[in-house]
Structure 1
């Protein structure tokens, strides 16, 4: 029987008594594994071997997983620091506990996101408690990491999946193919095999010399598995942000740009937010260590804003009668909302005086010291927008939202009255989650107050809003936890498989 050289080598190296893997055959024949795989399937078609397949699963720790196996999981470090601070008896400042825990950077976010989930305690409004009955020694995830680091296996599928979601281990699957010589194969081996000269590809010499008419070409197996490559793609969050920009530009808006780090003056003072407001404490904002303060602020505007805070605006204005300190106004922080861009533009400091009617927007990242949960992150994207015109009403604002959200297939927007220091009237927006049926808060809005606009030099109405881009994705795609699409715990497989909606 005549067979191509690769098939002869593989058949002679295989056994009729036991299955031999492709890798073992490749080593025995000194042929590439892909060549052996093709030869095995061709021999199977000839009835000379049988091919069996099985999937081997390999679990390996990531660098982060090895670090936690060697030291401690961040949530355990946070729990031990909380116990040391007495959080098992009373509420303790979260900043104090984090400071003594030794956690830094992403480890803080990771600890906070897993602390309550594991029953170590509760975190609420900047304070933390510790469950005295919790036992870090029985932490299943920590024990699993130690076992894997020691070279042992992991049988608990739930723990394995959780560690994989956290990016602490990687699971790879390998298809193992094994060949066994059949009775017919043994017969042909005993009768003796001859090597047939075959050609694997057409070359210019074969074509020009006419030899292609006489040679035997090797068969091409179109069913053979090929190596899978995951190409890069634009994140669905960025794609949706671009789509939001297209929609707003189509509605006549212009885009704003500005710094992520800004003075509290632009972030809060210009918004008529009192300096003793709880949202302006160090628990809710991310202040800068270096530099700590901005150098330049428009002097006349500072005077006008301070006057509005102390005395109010107009004959009925009273202001806050609370402390106002210019040094505090100059303090730098990561912006908690992109309304700092709106105050820069409305004041004329960014691009000069803006004449009504005008429409501006931004889709940019903001930073807040929130408690992590399925709808809150420490950093997220805000859809900021405002319209300047004469005689604006709440009806105009509601109509703008209905037109905007309709572009994304969302037509059940609900409104709830709300209080903001910088808008009156004010209301929150809600949409129905397509999977759970629950109402999800998707934004905040209102008509800017005179106490805010008068110091900025604006003499007509301005309606404005701040909408959450991640919440929009929840309504569009049915995501129940924004940590699946954004942040260190995002689900890459979910992002690859989700079809972008246009």
Structure 2
């Protein structure tokens, strides 16, 4: 029998009495472990050796895990500060008292209610008197792992891993033992075969490749796992949404993330004393604080609509309206600011119906973090400008759009918006939980919005949540599995866009 040199070395070093680890065989044969493993698998195919393997998993703390082991988990710091405040307390004050900053704030908010430490609603935080931070399973697990102990509860380890506080390391141990056929082969004698591992230019030019023996290539041998870069599933879904809307005849809009409150809210007939326009609902800019280039004639028309309404059947709000507030800069809370820019003619010039526009862009809201809300997310904005539009046209557009993603069970619910009438919300069924999930808001723009912008035909519009669409197509239940502090890397590496 003839064998390649590496296989012969492993066969001779293997024992029939004791299974030998790959590393020990590598030392005895002076070969590297991957070469020994490949030779062992080849010998196993010939029945000359047996290869057994076992996988051991170890868990170690990350740098962030060590930090929280020393300083405490952010949610516990928030709880202790809230408990010391004794009662319902302003969230900002508790965060300051807990000495939390940057990403730690988001982490504390996302885990506080989940662990039963209390509630966070409308900017107010409460502490549950029965909560016991010392019994926090994640806190105790960090301490146990640091002390060299093992954790039996896989759900706790999963949570710590998702928070990037621990890392799992899987180690595969392989052992090789001679079989009876292997012993027989050695007794009968085994020679080294002159084999070639790969074709070289010299073999081809000299013609020697016709006479040499090529080593068999084991396609089942282990290879190092590599995770190459790939486009984020949310970005790929956004591109798919764009393809669908372009295919439906829409043209893409573009505009600033930081904009004047005038374009974000005033043009949408949103009263300046609306709760969403306070510091609790928006991110205002500190530097610069306001915009200069607003069209004065449009500003005056919008002001008049707010104060007195439009036409004989509209009274307006009769509430204070200040141009200074309209000029203040903030991160846009919705991409409907782009719709107001385009409809006014300010962005691309005066528009003549029919027109169809859309955008898939990021928006920013001062929301409480939970499974369906983040401080920033993507909104699918759209508008159709035409004569004699109705709710049926709007519902038909949604039906056609969502069918492209396999969603055919849409439900509609009437609602109220300051800038649309009639208005309705869209809902879809979650494929895993069966719950009805809100996925968007829509309606026909009111005359109080359109007339100041100089639009004298119907405009139907909507704002849909890109992340909610992803929830319905892929079945995940927490928006933070896609982006945020709890992102699921395995999901991002393996998820495919649903067409």
TM-score (norm 2): 0.92
The one-character-per-residue Cα deviations of 1:320-359 (angstroms, maximum 9, x if unpaired) are 2222222222222211110111111111111111122211
Q: What stretches of structure 2 of length at least 5 have no aligned partner?
A: none
How far apart are residue 158 of structure 1 and its match?
Answer: 1.5
Corresponding residue for residue 376 of structure 2: 379
- The one of 247, 250, 275 aligned to 2:272: 275
Residues 37, 426 of structure 1: CA spacing in aligned structure 2 closer, same or farther, 3 A cutoff? Answer: same
Residues 465, 225 of structure 1: CA spacing in aligned structure 2 closer, same or farther, 3 A cutoff? Answer: same
Note the aligned Cα RMSD (angstroms).
2.4
| Distance (Å, rounded) in 2 between the aligned partners of 1:331 and 1:117 | 36
Corresponding residue for residue 369 of structure 1: 366
How far apart are residue 473 of structure 1 and its match?
Answer: 2.1
Residues 450, 45 of structure 1: CA spacing in aligned structure 2 closer, same or farther, 3 A cutoff? Answer: closer
How far apart are residue 185 of structure 1 and its match?
Answer: 5.0
Per the alignment, in what secondary structure is the counterpart of residue 129 of structure 1?
A: strand
How far apart are residue 220 of structure 1 and its match?
Answer: 2.7
Residues 470, 207 of structure 1: CA spacing in aligned structure 2 closer, same or farther, 3 A cutoff? Answer: closer
How far apart are residue 96 of structure 1 and its match?
Answer: 2.1
Per the alignment, in what secondary structure is the counterpart of residue 416 of structure 2?
A: strand
- The one of 119, 122, 127 aligned to 1:125: 122
- The one of 459, 466, 474 aligned to 1:462: 459
Residues 179, 422 of structure 1: CA spacing in aligned structure 2 closer, same or farther, 3 A cutoff? Answer: same
Per the alignment, in what secondary structure is the counterpart of residue 122 of structure 1?
A: strand
| Distance (Å, rounded) in 2 between the aligned partners of 1:423 and 1:259 | 23
Corresponding residue for residue 289 of structure 2: 292
Residue 393 of structure 2 corresponds to residue 396 of structure 1: yes
Residue 334 of structure 2 corresponds to residue 337 of structure 1: yes
Residue 305 of structure 2 corresponds to residue 308 of structure 1: yes
- The 10-residue stretch of structure 1 (272-281 or 306-315) with the greater mean CA deviation from structure 2: 306-315
- The one of 162, 167, 183 aligned to 2:164: 167
Residue 62 of structure 2 corresponds to residue 65 of structure 1: no
- The 10-residue stretch of structure 1 (359-368 or 320-329) with the greater mean CA deviation from structure 2: 320-329
How far apart are residue 374 of structure 1 and its match?
Answer: 2.5
| Distance (Å, rounded) in 2 between the aligned partners of 1:265 and 1:109 | 29
Corresponding residue for residue 443 of structure 2: 446
Residues 383, 204 of structure 1: CA spacing in aligned structure 2 closer, same or farther, 3 A cutoff? Answer: closer
Corresponding residue for residue 30 of structure 1: 30
Residue 53 of structure 2 corresponds to residue 53 of structure 1: yes
Map 1:89-488 to 2 at 5 A.
Answer: 89=87, 91-182=88-179, 195-209=192-206, 211-212=208-209, 215-488=212-485
Per the alignment, in what secondary structure is the counterpart of residue 159 of structure 2?
A: helix
- The 10-residue stretch of structure 1 (412-421 or 140-149) with the greater mean CA deviation from structure 2: 140-149
| Distance (Å, rounded) in 2 between the aligned partners of 1:206 and 1:233 | 38
- The 10-residue stretch of structure 1 (258-267 or 140-149) with the greater mean CA deviation from structure 2: 140-149
The one-character-per-residue Cα deviations of 1:236-284 (angstroms, maximum 9, x if unpaired) are 2222211221222222221110111111111111111111111111111
Residues 45, 116 of structure 1: CA spacing in aligned structure 2 closer, same or farther, 3 A cutoff? Answer: same
How far apart are residue 6 of structure 1 and its match?
Answer: 2.0
The one-character-per-residue Cα deviations of 1:1-32 (angstroms, maximum 9, x if unpaired) are 75433234334444444332212322333312
